[in-house]
């Protein structure tokens, strides 16, 4: 029975449970040798709630490439925005918390820089690429009364340049160099390493969705919209 195990044993089984416990107010590294049942009792946590949290954190919903390819572009953008939100509001704060409480100066120094770069990337992406796609979508649907003036706003923006730039980016590159330092470490180091590796995989997957599904869809939408605008201006 999981509740009879120590927190360390529970987390050795699955490091994701450390995050689930964090959201219930329990930091594993402050309680690692205590039994889960005792800590839950002390915090007034219901066992069913704990099991539910373990399950939910473990089965994080992720859409397949195939499924996402079939999404209309505006839905795909909503999905990516939602993922950004989860990165900024949930995943990063937890990783930062783990890094701050972990005795490793190299990691502590690199962390703020990495988080800042990533957040900047996300906001820039939403303010340029996603905004442009939204404008294209509205024009294509006929919701925009002044399509040309709407597009003039994006005069200096090029989807192809943005894609080339995006393909060359590697946000976790610097952090990845520290993975070796965290290998074969204590429980705290191992949980942090696993979280960083999982986040790295997720970022790679996220960028691949943008590069291989979003940008191609946006480029063909742009072509369609430009064709419509040219034929409209010929009519006038």
State the residues that interact with Fe ion by CB under 5 A: 125, 210
Cβ proximity to Fe ion: between 31 and 129 the closer is 129
What is the closest distance, in whole angstroms, from the C-beta atom of residue 198 to Fe ion in the complex? Answer: 17
Q: How far is the CB of 104 from Fe ion (least distance, A)?
A: 28
Query: Cβ closer to Fe ion: 23 or 65?
Result: 65
Least Å from the CB of residue 91 to Fe ion = 13
Shortest spacing between CB 62 and Fe ion, in angstroms: 15
HEC sequence for the chain? CHHHCEHHHHHHHCCHHHHHHHHCCCCHHHHCCCEHHHHHHHHCCCHHHHHHHHHHHHCCCCCCHHHHHCCCHHHHHHHHHHHHHHHHHHHHHHHHHHHHCCCCHHHHHHHHHHHHHHHHHHHHHHHHHHHHHHHHHHHHHCCCCCHHHHHHCCCCCCHHHHHHHHHCCCCCHHHHCCHHHHCCCCHHHHHHHHHHHHHHHHHHHHHHHHHHHHHHHHHHHHHHHHHHHHHHHHHC
Q: Whose CA is closest to 138, among 122, 153, 156? A: 153
| Minimum CB–partner distance for residue 151 and Fe ion (Å) | 23
Sequence-distant contacts of 40-46: CB under 8 A, at least 24 apart: 40/3
Q: How far is the CB of 86 from Fe ion (least distance, A)?
A: 11
Q: Whose Cβ is closer to Fe ion: residue 53's or residue 171's?
A: 171
Choice between 22 and 84, CB closer to Fe ion: 84
Contact yes or no for 66/129 (Cβ under 8 A):
no
Q: Which residue, 195 or 210, has its beta carbon nearer to Fe ion?
A: 210
Q: Which residue lies nearer to Fe ion by CB, 125 or 195?
A: 125
């Amino acid at each position: 029975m999981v509740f009879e195990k120590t927190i360390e044993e529970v987390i050795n089984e699955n490091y994701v449970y450390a995050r689930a416990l964090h959201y219930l107010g329990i930091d594993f590294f402050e309680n690692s040798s205590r039994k889960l049942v005792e800590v839950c009792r002390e915090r007034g946590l219901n066992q069913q709630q704990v099991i539910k949290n373990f399950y939910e954190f473990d089965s994080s919903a992720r859409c397949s490439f195939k499924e996402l390819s079939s999404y209309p572009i505006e839905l795909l953008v909503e999905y990516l925005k939602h993922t950004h939100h989860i990165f900024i509001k949930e995943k990063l704060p937890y990783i930062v918390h783990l890094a701050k409480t972990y005795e490793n100066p190299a990691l502590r120094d690199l962390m703020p820089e990495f988080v800042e770069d990533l957040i900047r990337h996300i906001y820039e992406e939403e303010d340029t690429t996603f905004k442009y796609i939204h404008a294209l979508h509205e024009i294509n649907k006929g919701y925009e009364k002044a399509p040309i003036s709407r597009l003039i706003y994006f005069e200096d923006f090029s989807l192809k340049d943005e894609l080339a730039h995006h393909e060359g980016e590697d946000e976790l590159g610097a952090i990845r160099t520290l993975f070796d330092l965290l290998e074969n470490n204590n429980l705290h180091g191992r949980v942090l390493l696993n979280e960083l590796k999982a986040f790295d995989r997720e970022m790679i997957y996220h960028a691949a969705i943008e590069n291989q599904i979003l940008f191609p869809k946006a480029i063909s939408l742009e072509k369609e919209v430009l064709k419509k605008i040219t034929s409209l201006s010929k009519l006038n």
